[in-house]
Structure 1
Amino acid sequence: MDHYADVPVVGWISSLLFPTLQGAGVQIYEYQSSFLHAKCMLIDRWAMLGSGNLNFRSSLHDIEANYATTLPATLQTLSQQYRLDLSVSIKIRQDTSTLLHRLRRLLFRPLIYFSYWM
């Protein structure tokens, strides 16, 4: 998650999903250093890096690019960069009882249904 979002409302809508994700054991960190529109996935000896989202809309409509690899040197570099990025990130601890969270939920929850077009 990026602290410096290019479209703030998308970040607010996304944050509504945090309690569910965190309840399932997902740890969410907010990158603080700068704006970063990239996704990096490291799984065992495989990695994917790019701007594309892993959803149906991105596959059909968006012009994005992803790079997948199993090259050991690239995996090591990505792993090191991930650790550096994590060191300048803040772990999100969602408090769903705050007035701000409740207000965002009331205002933005209906927009989740329109996320396909966002």
Structure 2
Amino acid sequence: MPLHSTHFTSACINFIKQWQGLSLEKYQDKKGIWVIGFGHEITADETFDSPITLMQAENLLLTDLNICEGFIHKEMPQIKDRFQQEAMMAWMLSVGITRFCTAGLWPGAISQPETL
């Protein structure tokens, strides 16, 4: 069953899925970061020793979107428009949540995504 969210638009979810692609097995991206699913960055406390299911990948995507949204609300409260928020979320996932939040890609990038 395709992912449906009452919180994020289907256009946002579909764009991210298409852009990120799907890998049910973990792999290292171009920057050497371990990822799985639709570009989910594997954290130190996560282990994925076997392939995941599509449902697990979609749940990881929703979790990542919620992290991005929380970061935007905390650090960029001036962005109120849903389309702009979702465009920012797609950018964050494209860059990598951790890299986006810590690399100074925008003025004031000081927060760690895990602290949201």
Indicate the structure whose relative CO is greater, using CA pairs within 8 Å and at least 6 residues apart: 1
Alignment TM class, shorter chain as reference: under 0.3
Greater fraction of residues in strand: 1
TM-score by length of 1: 0.24
Q: TM-score, structure 2 length as denominator?
A: 0.25
